[in-house]
Structure 1
């Protein structure tokens, strides 16, 4: 009988700890922050920035949630949030084209549950 109680207690303890640990996981944000500066390294305000997905062949392919547009603030920054694209535990990386007024100025590589920051120079 004592052996049964020990096994039951150990099993209940294991289930309790497993449940507690799995419920503690908090999904982190997937954010891209782009900063735009001029040739003097001063922030550029009011720049309309578009990011979009280009497949491996160089062809534009609309992907819901990946194609976004934003405008830089007074510090030259614009932020894009990709939280809706990822479920907890899902792995993934995507590379997006960065465009200003329809002209490509670079790319950004975004990884799940991280904040990626890149700086681009306009007129350099």
Structure 2
């Protein structure tokens, strides 16, 4: 039995700042949310089989995030992060929290959608 991904959300987890980290060393996890009823062991493939494929279960921490909705291609996402970090954050009453930035991809597939129609929410951890 496969996983039903119709109710899933595609999430990206950024571990490094590409402006200070060498491109070959930037770490990023591509994630797929699963409803709770699919995360029990009866529905998930064997953990060792997933590990062989480089797939692991990840629980994302909660907390407060600033959100910016990015419209357009993925290559211009760093520019939108700069709007949050350079323009919005210094003028807000918030500080950057020690956590990973998250990206929520609203389009199920980018292949069949014009680049200007792509929607991604950028989540900046704050406190």
Tell me the TM-score normalized by structure 1.
0.28
Which structure features the higher share of helix residues?
2
Larger radius of gyration: 1
Which structure features the higher share of strand residues?
1
Tell me the TM-score normalized by structure 2.
0.27
